Amino acid sequence: MEENKSTPSNFIREIIDEDLKSKKHSLIHTRFPPEPNGYLHIGHAKSICLNFGIARDYNGMCNLRFDDTNPVKEDIEYVESIEEDVRWLGFDWDDRMFYASDYFDRLYEFAVQLIKDDNAYVDSSTSQELREMKGTLTEAGALSPYRNRSVEENLELFTGMKEGKYEDGAHVLRAKIDMASTNMHMRDPVIYRIKKATHHNTGDKWCIYPMYDYAHPLSDWIEGITHSLCTLEFEIHRPLYDWFLDALKLKNRPRQIEFARLNLTYTVMSKRKLLELVQEGLVSGWDDPRMPTICGLRRRGYTPESIRNFADRVGVAKRDAMTDVALLEHSVREDLNKHAMRVMAVLRPLKVVITNYPDDKTEEMETTNNPEDETMGTRKIPFSNVIYIEREDFQEVPHKKFHRLSPGNEVRLKSAYIIKCTEVIKDDKGEITELHCTYDPETKSGSGSMRSVKGTIHWVSAKHAVKAEVRLYDRLFVTEDPASDDKDFRELLNPHSLDILKECYIEPELSKAKTGDKFQFIRTGYFCVDPLSNDEMLVFNRTVALKDSWTKIDKK
């Protein structure tokens, strides 16, 4: 096999290289096993890129397998969203989409075999009793009074559980391992429980459901997975993963390998906390552009390429660490810089009347679509005697280093003319309502004029401008690590994470923009068209500002 050059090497790839070299495996087979109880987030994106990326780079296969062992929390809505997210990121599972529930019959048979081999027993203790007999980190657990039931009695009870003869909580099936183990997960873990709930995939066929720690290794084995990649919290579960494979004497076993999960500054990754944000109306939904969900990032304007590049940059480590969200922002900024059209948009408009420009005249000014990519060409933008500029581009009493528009000062309008402010118009309250300026007709951009000024600002023609709503998104939390802060994470929400500007003006070219289209608003940032846009009003979401803090961090 040719050396992989598309992605940096890491300890997982080194293990795979050795397995191929030793001929332990001839085909690499991975899987991405999401639980369909919520929407995927950027941490899952890292795992998707890892599992599908390894399969791609080693000419292997990667399955999409839904861990649907808890019908109470799962929903087909989440299944469909996960499929969409994986495809959007650029990966495909071909015909290998599975559910753990596809294997419920076989998992039941495996459980029967464990009972027959005296490796599992039915426990009739209450949930409270089960917790108490578990022991502590320093004290061994207590043996269940039901641990020595006969194989025949266990088989009869387990069959009754399957047939719905007992209520929820009446019995559980436990693996018979070691109640004195220093690993709490090895202390006779529950592997089946009664849940009389309708399952999104199997309906009402089952009223007993396997636990994840049981279903995980056996589903991997059934599918022929060679390398089962998990985040670090599953490291302590690995002995149990191997125990089930050993107890059932299964050959050609998968190998579980753990890697560090993604932790991102100013972000929470807990599904529970993200669900609470949605349920309590603290965000507009799972796809709120402030959320770290893949659908939220997509709506905000992130590209699949930027997220894949981010995952590569983060890499795969053996120990947990915190990644600066500025790296994620840098990745999308870098990608959009190459591909996004540069356009004029005025977010906080100030009216400018060019008094020596004819009222009835309109010119078309030529401007470059993207200086990073000449193949994107140029376009024409209309210019007239009344324009809008950014309010912050004018100061009545300019500070020393202010090189934009001020009384008596000149500034260049991008791709147009040099103008000079001659008069400031105010209302009864002393608020500036408009500026009067003159233009120098000899300074048209591209005309060869040698005259230059220090400042260049953007603008839009008032009579041609299209009104738009712009949503300025910022980080959702005010602290770097809201998950570890002593305060309730709700108290750490950024009150300025969303600023909605309803009186914005954009150049007419953008009137044809469609949902998801991405642009660089010159001098402002990168924006995309939100799904809430309609024929009456375009809505733009700020993906990221122009300023790149990561490059400064990286150079230190």
Cα–Cα distance measured from residue 523 to residue 403, given in angstroms and rounded to the nearest whole number? 14
Check: CB of residue 202 under 8 Å from CB of residue 3: no
Concerning whether 35 is annotated as a catalytic residue, the answer is yes
Catalytic residue among 35, 276, 305, 469: 35
Which residue among 13, 56, 238, 271 is the active-site one? Answer: 271
Among 336, 376, 386, CA closest to 505: 386
Closest of 263, 233, 282, 262 to residue 489, by C-alpha:
282
Which H or E run contains 154? helix 151-162
Task: Output phi, psi for 414, to 5 deg.
Answer: -55, 130
Phi-psi region at 408: left, alpha or beta (left = phi > 0; alpha = psi -120 to 50): left
- Inter-axis angle of helices 76-88 and 42-57, to 10 degrees? 60
**Pick from 352, 291, 345, 381: nearest CA to 469:** 345
Rounded CA-CA distance 526/333 in Å is 8
Q: Is 495 helix (H, G, I), strand (E, B) or coil?
A: coil
Distance CA 118, CA 148 (A): 9
Inter-residue contact 8 to 313 (CB < 8 Å): no
Q: How far is CA 536 from CA 146, 275, 288, 297, 468, in A?
A: 69, 33, 22, 25, 9
Q: Contact at 8 Å (CB) between 334 and 306? A: yes
Which residue of the set 65, 174, 261, 412 is catalytic? 261
Task: Give the gyration radius of the chain's Cα atoms.
Answer: 31
Please identify every residue annotated as catalytic.
35, 261, 271
